[in-house]
Chain A
């Protein structure tokens, strides 16, 4: 993957598992198909002649717009997953994400208060996990989704050990 403008130079990004695309697809399906389905109800009712109010064009265009948006998001998912990256440096962890709205974040090991590893049902099926770092700041929304379980465990141990060594107060 090419280096973006806001990525620090000379960083070897490690990528999350490509299998994470599946997790995102399931989430996408649950969220978007349901919305489109619900928005299509008036269309069906109008077609059946039970409802009069929404004119046909409105009944069609609303779910159609939603569908287009949903498909757009669907197309983006693989690229978004590829855009997630992390790099362990000597004193801090770098995390990047995003294609349009990019974010590169640095979390010093000494600032980590605790490290969470969580596994959802779909993730468990694929052998993935999500790593979450907590600092004293609520703004630190440092999540690394889609890590292989072994890598997640390794990273957790590694981060905890490094955090312990460099622990600072607030």
Chain B
């Protein structure tokens, strides 16, 4: 095949060009087919309901023409599907994944395996019925969107994920395409459905709905206008859809740890399994809306390169959620996975102070008292603490928020000061991170403190970056004095075993021991 030579300098022996599952265009394009069916079926159906002839009598003469047109359209669609399937091919070879698509406008995407940021297996309902899955991965090499392979058989998708992760981690190198074994995984936590429902009922959204409902009842009694409620029907439908989508996305949420990274699984009808390799989380935040405080619930969100760029709000929202709702011990467990080395002797105390603390407990430095007029409620909470491995930014008296940025993930930083802040001698420190729900900002810190932190943080980030030398995370975690450690080691799992025995039980001890 000539395409095999498309990439220069890579051995062509490994990795054949493979095709996705033949049924995939139909699974993906069922909307188009359904639309065609809908347009032809609706008229007939309406007529049936109205008890008229099934076919418009005016159309009698043109019926064959219409039929012919319909069939032609159908055939064209199917032909398009087949062509798109035929021209979609992928290959895993030489440290790259390549995906070719399109037959009129050809497109070749190639992604470096050691730049894989996250890898998802997505199963929309229809695909799930057919046992198919979409493999989607984010790559940090300036490409604007994820690389998608839709659809593969679920087992193949899992296999490919294991292969990609094994190669990305550096556990497997060399030309042979021997399928990597799936890394073992250990369940960490799951979110029971009743808690999810509770969290939805107690969400900020519900408060607004309640307020809106009260307002509309008051308005309608005042104006004695019953028709008013009619206008609320679309709004109610929209709200129901949002609740449903949150429920559908958050249902059966489970997190597990494997040497490949953190595995997140969730979904009622459409299921999704995300894998976040270690060290790929750019920033993280834990939030607690006021109503959730009754039950001590928290939500965790992350920035992962590529995730934030997804246009679709709901999809991006669910993918960047590390924990939809969880207790404090759940939060601590997830934190220990994300940040295996908290960089402090008393992680429990520091992070608890970050979640709920005030003033200087846990070593936090807050807004100086003189600036309390700038933030009458928040000044005792707005603050920062730096551990050996991450910077913790705390804010919000009502909406508790804790942002954690690992030192080696800091991209750039800026100190900002407006005229009012200058009057009170405070300044904001903004950490820049990849696009996502988390935007780390230290609010109204003392000028001198901020300046010191600015310098210290630059130095810490520099140090952390120096320690992190390779994109292949296994090479970082278990460095060996050999020049090319991964090449000389057997291509089996002792390394993986060593890794998870090293990290996993230790983290468990740290917060529960």
Contacts and interface: CB of A to CB of B under 8 A. Distances in A.
Interface string A118-143: 00000000000000000111111010
Contacts of A140: 411-412, 432
B458 A108 contact: yes
Given A108-B461, A138-B435, A102 B416 contact: yes
A46 B433 CA distance: 53
B140 interface: yes
A28 B342 CA distance: 50
Interface in A90-118: 91-92, 100-108, 110-111, 113
Nearest to A138: B435
Given A6-B427, A100-B419, A137 B462 contact: no
B111 to A, nearest CB: 14
Nearest to B441: A139
Contacts of A110: 462, 465
A137 B411 contact: yes
B409 interface: yes
A168 interface: yes
Given A104-B415, A136-B305, A170-B282, A6 B434 contact: no
B413 A105 contact: yes
Interface string B170-184: 000000000000000
Contact of A100 (B413, B418, B458, B465): B418
B458 A106 contact: yes
A5 interface: yes
Interface in A1-24: 4-6, 8-9
A137 B412 contact: yes
B422 interface: yes
B217 to A, nearest CB: 41
Contact of A139 (B427, B430, B471): B430
A101 B430 CA distance: 14
Contacts of B458: 91-92, 106, 108
A5 B425 contact: yes
A108 B409 contact: no
Contact of A111 (B117, B411, B415, B417): B411
Given A5-B447, A111-B411, A137 B432 contact: yes
A12 B368 CA distance: 30
A101 B427 contact: no
Given A139-B432, A168-B468, A5 B414 contact: no
B82 interface: no
B276 to A, nearest CB: 13
A103 B415 contact: yes
21 contacts: A5-B417, A5-B422, A5-B427, A6-B416, A8-B455, A92-B458, A100-B419, A102-B417, A103-B416, A106-B414, A106-B458, A108-B410, A108-B411, A108-B462, A110-B465, A111-B412, A136-B305, A137-B435, A142-B412, A166-B465, A170-B280
Interface of A: 4-6, 8-9, 91-92, 100-108, 110-111, 113, 135-140, 142, 166, 168-170
